[in-house]
Amino acid sequence: MFLFSFYFGLPQHAKEDYLELRQEASDLQEYSNAKLDRVTRYLGVLADRARKLDQVALESEARISPLIVEKKRLYNDLLTAKGNVKVYCRTRPLFEDEGSSIVEYPDDFTIRINTGDDSVTNQKKDFEFDRVYGPHVGQGELFHDVQPVVQSALDGYNVSIFAYGQTRSGKTYTMEGSSQERGLYVRCFEELFDLSNSEITSTSQFEFCVTVFELHNEQVRDLLSDMGNTLPRVRMGAPDSFTELVQEKVENPLDFSRVLKAGMQNRGTDTSKFNFSHLYDQTLSSDPFDVDPNLLYSSPSFDIITFVW
């Protein structure tokens, strides 16, 4: 009799458990639906706030944009007032087979040469420059004085950095440097990328392209011509006598170094040739006062920073 009662009691207990679980599931479903509805409403509120913040940002950018333009103009006017052309003189340490130095440095702007000519009254001659760098000056200090023109290049001005001197005077070291002491073009490009990243907005962006060529007896030789026929090209020279140069887009300083290294491996051995590296800065922007997130960039401007050595 006991077994019989237990047999019939078990389904009743299971039924109660089932109903209880069903109620819990229903409560959980109702709770989940309420939570989901609440989260959905909250996401809608956040999306609305995000749209409003985007609009505020665009309006603020539109108000600030003229001030930024004016700041750039004043900055470059200041550089222009100081002189569009700066001439710096850099001397390297003597090699072992070069004897003793005949150069003195009275100040940061003067280099004094001791001619050693007993036939003249004044054996020492002074030459003045915008800046003089002795053998002790490193690449970093030199770049510090060049740095302002990098900002000018990003602001829309064409810039040239020209290293001139006789063979073994240190032109290549100044421009290219070494693994321990990077040269000017690497430092300039890193600075250019840092500045462009800090100035990217919702209405503008920057693209950089590089051309590398050498000039000898008025003949231009493209040092990137073997990198592929599919790459875009840029024309250089007069309309009736132009040269097409391969133009490769670069995304970062490592890209730039890679492209320049490839070009330098193709250069000639004649020491009278000039090596050129053109860095094209293309600024793509849309009207900051009428911004559509889906608006294609228009009004591109092209600026060039040229390294010659």
Residue ranges of domains in the chain: 1-68, 86-137, 138-308
Q: Which of 233, 216, 237, 217 is nearest to 225 (CA)?
A: 233
The predicted structure's pLDDT at residue 32? 87
What is the C-alpha to C-alpha distance for residues 308 and 164, in angstroms, rounded to an integer? 8
Half-sphere exposure of residue 160: CA atoms within 13 angstroms, side-chain side: 10
Where b means 16+ CB within 10 Å and e means fewer, 171-182 reads bebbbbbeeeeb
The predicted structure's pLDDT at residue 142? 94
**8 A C-beta contact, residue 127 and residue 118:** no
Q: How high is the mean pLDDT in each 10-residue block of the chain (309 residues)? A: 46 71 83 87 88 81 74 77 88 89 93 79 87 94 92 84 89 90 91 83 75 81 75 59 78 88 78 59 36 38 77
Torsion (CA) 167, 171, 172, 176 in degrees, nearest 10? 180
**8 A C-beta contact, residue 266 and residue 226:** yes
The predicted structure's pLDDT at residue 296? 35
The predicted structure's pLDDT at residue 292? 34
Q: Who contacts 244 (Cβ-Cβ below 8 Å, separation ≥6)?
A: 222, 233, 234, 235, 236
CATH topology of domain 138-308: Kinesin (3.40.850)
SS3 245: strand
CA 16 to chain CA mean position, Å:
72
List the binding residues for ATP.
165-172
CA 26 to chain CA mean position, Å:
60
Structure tokens at 239: 């309309």
The predicted structure's pLDDT at residue 290? 30
**8 A C-beta contact, residue 151 and residue 214:** no
What is the C-alpha to C-alpha distance for residues 33 and 132, in angstroms, rounded to an integer? 76
Residue 109 per-residue DSSP state? T
Strand ranges, E, within the chain? 88-90, 103-107, 110-114, 124-128, 131-133, 159-162, 204-216, 219-222, 233-236, 243-246, 248-250, 274-285, 298-308
Q: Global pTM?
A: 0.66
List the binding residues.
165-172
SS3 177: strand
What is the C-alpha to C-alpha distance for residues 29 and 163, in angstroms, rounded to an integer? 76
